[in-house]
Amino acid sequence: MAGRPGAAALFALCAAAVLASHLLQAPYGFNIRDEGFLWYGVQRVLAGEVPMRDFDAYDPGRYYWSAAVMGLLGDDGISSLRIAISLFQVAGLALALWLVVREERAPDVIFWALATATLLAWMVPRHKLFDVTLSIALVAALAALVRRPDARFHFVAGLAVGAAAVFGRNHGVYGVVGSLLAMGFIAMGGARPPGMARNVVLWAIGIAVGYAPMLLLALFVPGFFAAVVESVRFLFEVEATNLPLPVPWPWTVPFGRLGMLQGAREALVGLFFIAIVVFAAAAVAWVFTRRVRGAATPPVLVACACMAVPYAHYAYSRADIGHLAHGIFPALIGVLALLAARPRAIRWPIAALLCAATLAVTLPLQPGWRCRVIGECVQMAVGKDRLTIDPVPAEALSIMKQLHDRYAAQPGRTFYVAPLWTGAYAALSKRAPVWEVYPLFPRGPAFEDAEIERLRRADPVLAVIYDHPLDGREDLRFRNTHPRIERYVRETMRPVEAHPGGPAVQVYVKR
């Protein structure tokens, strides 16, 4: 393997690939829900607020990373947020490609191109690239641990797990599961490794050090620890980390209704869902069997097997293409690493087939592709930037802009919007009058009463409720998930009959 490319060369290749993707994609698309949720949170951090304590948020890491980059750029717009995310993405893509090409016997530029295209295409949606990169980083940390299972790399593996949890506690949990599997692999197949108990302690210390930013926030920021505890309690209350969706098994695809091309794409999605579970089960059985037999196994394959198990859970927690993309990388890296060690006659056709299947599934999720090829996108201002975006979020943002300009444009005035158009706050540079800016899950009366008190103090002049059954479920309409807040708005504000929204948009103004 002496002909392997250097890390600097691979990093440059990946940086160029991400730059090209960013230039092609950044001016297109806007997800007013999830991307808007992230963007609003970063704006609030730039304004001095604390995630989870002052506003509903993911774990803080992604907000502080984005705020640091956007602060250097001197801008809080959506384009600057996308630059911050792309910088994080470079590290993820470079790590993934490095793990793959380490298994090559000789450099193969064609394979590099196919692997890079496949990995990059699965990095969707862009506002979730923190999650994708974290899964890759955990695979890399465990591969290093399996390659050199000494005290230092146990500490490094723990450090990676703790740092991942700062960006998303689910990644911390997945990292613990993967680490335990990896350490079980190391302990098998021979005499007990020397210093094993010490190494486990060092791994735990590494977790604590990696998680130190959260610990420091809990110690020195009043109210933060209570907010974290409440967020964990709420997860146990709802008994879910996501709103579940049925798995799109390939045999359930309605080809007659969708047509052959769209039906084939949906079938491919189902096959990828099956593939990640098959890979996880087969890879774990294979690497542990080889360990028992004393046969050598490439460390990257051991790491991929160990992380594929928990990340399959991530994909199935809400079985759509976005979550499939978040959970596929351990399996994807493992397959590409296996191909990298095969002769070109095998490597190229399979890598090309995998790349083609990937593009068929993921291209419709690429905003630049959607707007250029499918069309129907419209140009409009999104905050300080001008973007070309899909008709649905464009209509939502247009409605909110018209209502804002009519009722809430004056300084000191604010509005309330629920449950799905979170990005309107960020696009219109307004602070939300409540803590929960993305109200999806049902909440108890005590929580709703606290939110009502916040609404009363903020005294919004405008309230917009999008009466939509999320995922087609009536129980997820806002009036059913947050009945007390909906009733408070209806009873204390005046409904507006003539407004730019359709019948699903309920508009209220201050009496």
Residue 375 lies in a domain: no
Note whether 336 and 426 are same-domain residues: no
Is 4's pLDDT higher than 70?
no
Is 2's pLDDT higher than 80?
no
Domain containing 192: what range?
7-239+253-368
Phi, psi of 165 (to 5 degrees): -65, -25
pLDDT band of 248, cuts 50, 70, 90: very high
For the residues 74-93, what does the mean pLDDT come to? Answer: 98
What local confidence, expressed as pLDDT, does residue 80 receive?
Answer: 98
- The model's pLDDT over 371-403, given as tens digits with 9 standing for 90+, comes to 988 778 999 999 999 999 999 999 999 999 999
Q: In whole angstroms, what is the distance from residue 396 CA to residue 180 CA?
A: 46
Percent of the residues in the chain that have a pLDDT greater than 70, as a whole number: 98
Note whether 364 and 402 are same-domain residues: no
Q: In whole angstroms, what is the distance from residue 458 CA to residue 492 CA?
A: 13
Residue 2 lies in a domain: no
From 184, 200, 187, 192, select the one nearest 151 (Cα to Cα): 200
Note whether 411 and 361 are same-domain residues: no
Residue 333 lies in a domain: yes
What local confidence, expressed as pLDDT, does residue 194 receive?
Answer: 72
Note whether 42 and 144 are same-domain residues: yes
Percent of the residues in the chain that have a pLDDT greater than 90, as a whole number: 89
From 78, 69, 84, 85, select the one nearest 39 (Cα to Cα): 78
* Cis upstream peptide for 419 (omega within 30°): yes
What local confidence, expressed as pLDDT, does residue 259 receive?
Answer: 87
What local confidence, expressed as pLDDT, does residue 240 receive?
Answer: 78
What local confidence, expressed as pLDDT, does residue 380 receive?
Answer: 96
Note whether 335 and 436 are same-domain residues: no
Note whether 306 and 360 are same-domain residues: yes
Q: Is 94 exposed, middle or buried (0-12, 13-18, 19+ CB in 10 A)?
A: buried
Note whether 85 and 188 are same-domain residues: yes
Note whether 454 and 354 are same-domain residues: no
Of 337, 368, 399, at which residue does a domain stop? 368
> How many domains would you assign to the chain?
2
Residue 77 lies in a domain: yes
Lowest mean pLDDT among 237-246, 295-304, 481-490: 237-246
Quick one: tokens of 76? 């809080």
pLDDT band of 344, cuts 50, 70, 90: very high
Is 290's pLDDT higher than 60?
yes
Note whether 321 and 397 are same-domain residues: no
Residue 383 lies in a domain: no
Cα of 443 vs its chain's centroid, Å: 24
Cα of 313 vs its chain's centroid, Å: 14
Residue 12 lies in a domain: yes
Q: How far is the CA of 164 from the CAs of 61, 168, 398, 451, in angstroms? A: 8, 6, 37, 31
For the residues 65-69, what does the mean pLDDT come to? Answer: 98
Residue 382 lies in a domain: no
Residue type, 133: T
Note whether 314 and 402 are same-domain residues: no
For the residues 45-62, what does the mean pLDDT come to? Answer: 98
Q: Which residue has the higher pLDDT, 349 or 191?
A: 349
What local confidence, expressed as pLDDT, does residue 9 receive?
Answer: 86
- The model's pLDDT over 128-180, given as tens digits with 9 standing for 90+, comes to 999 999 999 999 999 999 999 999 999 999 999 999 999 999 999 999 999 99
What local confidence, expressed as pLDDT, does residue 1 receive?
Answer: 42
SS3 of 409, please?
coil
What local confidence, expressed as pLDDT, does residue 5 receive?
Answer: 63
- The model's pLDDT over 107-122, given as tens digits with 9 standing for 90+, comes to 899 999 999 999 999 9
Note whether 354 and 397 are same-domain residues: no
Note whether 422 and 340 are same-domain residues: no
Cα of 369 vs its chain's centroid, Å: 20
pLDDT band of 193, cuts 50, 70, 90: low
Q: Which secondary structure element, helix H or strand E, spans residue 507, and what is its range?
A: strand 505-510
Of 335, 368, 401, at which residue does a domain stop? 368
What local confidence, expressed as pLDDT, does residue 6 receive?
Answer: 74
Is 3's pLDDT higher than 70?
no
Residue 378 lies in a domain: no
Lowest mean pLDDT among 5-14, 25-34, 87-96: 5-14
Cα dihedral across residues 234, 214, 18, 11: positive or negative:
negative
